[in-house]
A and B are shown apart, each in its own frame.
Chain A
Amino acid sequence: MTTLAGPGAASSVGSALDRVEGLEKVTGRAKYAYEYAPDDLVYAAPVQAGIARGEVRAVDADAALKLPGVIAAIWYGNAPRLAPAENAELSVLQSRRVAYRGQYVAVVVAETLENAVEAARLLRVDYDVEEHDVELRADHPGMYRPERVNPVYPADTEQGDPDAALAAAEVVVDEVYSTPAEHNNPMEPHATVAVWDGDGLTLYDSTQGATSVRDIVAPLFGLPPGNVRVVSPHVGGGFGSKGTPLSPVVLAALAAKHAGRPVKLAVTRSQMFSVIGYRTPTIQRIRLGADARGHLGVIVHDVFEQSSRIREFAEQTATPTRMMYAAPNRRTTHRLVRLDVPTPSWMRAPGEAPGMFALESALDELAFACGIDPIELRVRNEPETDPESGLPFSSRNLVACMHEGARRFGWADRDPAPGVRLRDGLLVGTGVAASTYPVYRRPSKASATALADGTFTVRIAAMDIGTGARTALTQIAADTLGVPPGLVRVEIGDSALPDASLAGGSMGTASWGTAVVRACEALTAALRERDGQVPPDGVEVSADTAREIGGERRFAQHAFGAQFAEVGVDPATGETRVLRLLGVFAAGRIVNPKTARSQFVGGMTMGMSMALLEESVMDREFGDYLNHDLAQYHVAACADVRDVEAVWIEEDDPHLNPMGTKGIGEIGIVGTAAAVANAVHHATGVRVRDLPIRIDRLVR
């Protein structure tokens, strides 16, 4: 007999449960996509376009095919035909057109990786070259207003009369900020092992969404989704770059179909700089108009960014400006230009991360112009309801985060004068910025099974990309069932499990957790009906949150935070190092303080890296991102990460979901760069409006 104590009796949620798969990971037994090795496996090596715009005129594969062990060379001329794709990046080898340098134009399949790579090198591709255009400029004649920005927001919004308000404002900040292209570099590069069995396709894939890879890849090959299975129990990071299927997984499946053998395709670190998306560069003009006491009368945020010729990806850079601060007059715009560049995509907090760099830098400039403490300025402009929709916030604790951070950071003693503190030979300064991230939730399905041995299995095609999702869902299931987490086994990372939304938009726990709670509640009810008797083959129930999630929103729902940075700048060299970072977040209920802390600290570290280091350099002559390896594309090294602390304010918000959670995967990166830039201004008196804040921006 299985006895359930019932919800509320146990409380694993809120405790720092170790990662349930931790032992598997540290002992190397956790299997990642590249490690699957089916019989008859062969290797694929892609050939990437050597031009940024034009057409493939001819492919000469003779030399490549003569190498020992080479099985096939595939290009548009002999590739299996795919059904049209909504995302043209997925129409791999379906056309002569080259839309960007580095786009896949062929693939070679061989018995060994070494031979595949050498054959790919020998494959000769001749092009009809056309002049390319790869440079983002705000005044580019190709700028246009996209229908909507990612995922479904209007491109432009306007309230009141911003122009009149600017003309009448006592204090105006009018500045242009820019952020460079940045590339995701998860520890595990993208990889796929594709195995065909008749009309069935199995993909061992490094992805953030097994269900969505299945649903998007299957129709390309004319298959019903049920014929495709995507297996990815462990994923070594993604940050958005594995959030939607991109060309590598399609290329692997196509190559396996053509070769008639299972194919392994590993994207190299260098190839990641052209085929897995990136954060668009942005140019952002911000205009703030306020009275002398810092009360905002108007906010205008105009964004210019890029996408590729073949797919419109319009980042939602100005959307946080629509709800952060009270102001009766407001305008936000997004303009996009299509260039001969790879398609940008999601990178941790797309929209919020670059947008809040600009907005929160501008707020700091306004505080300075008004002679008001930057925290006080934000308090004075705290809105009572969502400025955009007029809806009440279900919870909003930005001010509480600011005050708690100020207390912990020692903000009260801060002398606002810039460029006056020399400590151990370094100019030292502190800065603050707000963080925010919207609350998203998507429908998912889950099943819950009571087994005769008194344990439980919960199944859902959720993904753990290193976040701790498997652990959090175990805790949520255990609490709903009223049993210790050790009795619950959560199976995720396989599209054969009940359909789930992807690991993105900081919505995993909210989306999957809701389905897990509903399945576990249904199981509890089913067991109660049976008086706790579990037959030998167990009791299984399922849940689908499609009806629960959706419908009209009655509240504006966002997580908030405050980030504080202390920097030291070498006055001789301009070298900037972040001495301290503190983040205080209000993101609903925290399911697991240990994995949550890693999310916050990881996001802040990535934000610091964005502030000081990360920049993908467009090579104007050749049209690719030039610094395409980790020796040249700098991410923060351990020595850069000195003192990063993340804490949170517990929120009890009944309007969110059964767990009371908001997302925590992305908010950590939002605002960090502005906090650092604001600290650099405080340290040096120099306002850096163009990221990254490197030596060349500060040395004199």
Chain B
Amino acid sequence: MRPFSYLRAPDAPSAVATAAGRPDTMYLAGGTNLVDLMRLGVAVPDVLVDVSGIASGTIEETGDGALLIGAGVRNSDLAADPLVRRRHPLLSQAVLAGASGQIRNMATVGGNLMQRTRCPYFQDVTKPCNKRLPGTGCPARAGEHRNLAILGHSDDCVATHPSDMAVALAALGAIVHVEGAEGPRTVPMPGLHRLPGEEPERDTVLGQGELITAVEVSPLPFPGRSRYRKVRDRASFAFAVVSVAAVLDVADGTVRDCRIAFGGVAHAPWRAETAEAALRGAAATEAEFTRAAEAELAAARPLPGNAFKVPLARNVLVRTLVDLAEAS
């Protein structure tokens, strides 16, 4: 292994002061992804700033009914939290759909958002990858891309973001609280993660040294039933082939409002705004759900090895909406 320095920051501002402007510095929390990447040689930080002692591990209710989830909250605790389960079962379901019990016990909310793609080329330092080494090329496009993006990808990168939790947060329109050298700021989901464009090395809009301190989830402005539906090759402990986070409000057979996000299809959680717009005011029928799903997926540009994800994403969205409508 390569030598690196390990620091513990006493508080967020000093962590940020250490890491800002220093691309060789990375934050460490649960370590469930970063330590793997260091072992693989994919991540080669000179300095690790351990933020697990300073990131809040609590979930608080704010005055306006929102939940402020500390970045240091373990995934297991988030999924089991009574307030989260009651107000945002979608979020709890999404977290529990990810990883394994052991990993969820270690992984944090902030780390979950910051985890890297599991694209096989990104993780193999003996091969080119524009995300890992900008300018080296993307072998996935002509090679193995079964699990990679069908939406929003670029010539440079077809990676997907692996998080389940982020998909639910994107559907719920969560606000990410960030501490930076210039002070705190907020980033709305799904805006935290970006599409690859010509800079696939940048997963998020955060600058060097910016630290996620909390995630704020407000109540949706409408009542609705929600579901996180994850399609995966095996029954547990597998990343999504496609997932859907959906909230649906149906009254008198008509969709009053909805929130929809896809996972496993793009470089970022994919908020399906086209489908949402098509559904508002539409009849809550399988035909309308199908029409909305197809409208959203009209933008899909699948590769030869992942074309199946287009009908899969359509089917899983339609099925999820039908189930939610029937339960209404």
Contact = CB atoms under 8 A, between A and B. Distances in A.
B142 A621 contact: yes
Interface in A616-643: 617, 619-622, 626-629, 631-632, 634, 636-640
Nearest to B162: A631
Contacts of A631: 118, 239
Given A622-B139, A632-B118, A637-B236, A695 B231 contact: yes
A640 B235 CA distance: 5
A639 B235 contact: yes
Given A627-B120, A699-B311, A699-B312, A619 B144 contact: yes
A638 to B, nearest CB: 7
A550 to B, nearest CB: 45
Interface residues of A, number: 34
A628 B144 CA distance: 13
Interface stretch (A126-134, A317-325, A568-576): A568-576
B139 A572 contact: no
Contacts of B139: 619, 621-622
Interface stretch (A114-122, A357-365, A552-560): A114-122
Contacts of B124: 626, 628
B237 interface: yes
Contacts of B231: 573, 575, 695
B237 A637 contact: yes
Contacts of B127: 619, 622
A621 B124 CA distance: 14
B41 interface: yes
Contacts of B327: none
A700 interface: yes
Interface in B196-233: 231-233
Contacts of A627: 120, 144
Contact of B234 (A621, A640, A699): A640
Contact of A695 (B126, B142, B308): B308
Interface residues of B, number: 31
Contact of B318 (A572, A626, A695): A572
Identify whether the interface residues of B are mostly helix, strand, loop, or mixed.
loop
Contacts of A700: 311
Interface in A562-596: 572-575, 577
A50 B128 CA distance: 12
A636 B234 contact: yes
Interface in B109-146: 118, 120, 123-124, 126-127, 139, 142-144, 146
A695 B237 contact: no
A695 B238 contact: no
A639 B236 contact: yes
Contact of A117 (B1, B232, B315, B319): B1
A632 B123 CA distance: 11
Identify whether the interface residues of A are mostly helix, strand, loop, or mixed.
loop
Interface in B63-85: none
B234 A612 contact: yes
B59 interface: no
Contact of B2 (A118, A577, A694): A118
Interface string B177-202: 00000000000000000000000000
B278 interface: no
A700 B319 CA distance: 13
Contacts of B143: 619-622, 626
Contacts of A699: 308, 311-312, 315
A613 interface: yes
Q: Give the interface centre of A114, A574, A575, A694 by most chain B CB atoms within 10 Å.
A: A575
A313 B126 CA distance: 28
A202 to B, nearest CB: 29
Contacts of A577: 235
B233 A613 contact: yes
B118 A694 contact: no
Interface in A139-197: none
Interface in A380-414: none
Contacts of B232: 575
B55 interface: no
Q: Give the interface centre of A574, A621, A637, A699 by most chain B CB atoms within 10 Å.
A: A699
B99 to A, nearest CB: 10
B248 interface: no
A147 B239 CA distance: 44
Nearest to B322: A572
A634 B312 contact: no
A696 interface: yes
A42 B238 CA distance: 37
Nearest to A631: B118
Given A572-B318, A573-B316, A695-B312, A634 B41 contact: no
B234 to A, nearest CB: 5
Contacts of B239: 631
A70 to B, nearest CB: 14
Nearest to B236: A639
A634 B233 contact: yes
Contacts of A696: 146, 308
Contacts of B272: none
A97 B139 CA distance: 26
A695 B236 CA distance: 15
A633 to B, nearest CB: 10
Contact of B144 (A50, A613, A617): A617
A640 B143 CA distance: 29
A53 to B, nearest CB: 15
B241 interface: yes
Given A50-B126, A574-B312, A634-B238, A695 B233 contact: yes
A9 to B, nearest CB: 49
A627 B118 CA distance: 11
Contacts of B315: 572-573, 699
Interface of A: 50, 114, 117-118, 121, 572-575, 577, 612-613, 617, 619-622, 626-629, 631-632, 634, 636-640, 694-696, 699-700
Interface of B: 1-2, 41, 118, 120, 123-124, 126-127, 139, 142-144, 146, 231-239, 241, 308, 311-312, 315-316, 318-319
Given A573-B316, A613-B234, A632-B120, 10 more contacts: A117-B1, A573-B312, A573-B315, A574-B312, A613-B233, A617-B144, A619-B143, A626-B144, A695-B233, A695-B308
21 contacts: A117-B1, A573-B312, A575-B232, A612-B233, A612-B234, A613-B233, A613-B234, A626-B143, A626-B144, A628-B124, A631-B118, A632-B118, A634-B238, A637-B235, A637-B236, A637-B237, A637-B238, A639-B234, A639-B235, A696-B146, A699-B308
> What are the 4 tightest A-B residue pairs by CB atom distance, in nearest-first order?
A639-B235, A639-B236, A572-B315, A572-B319
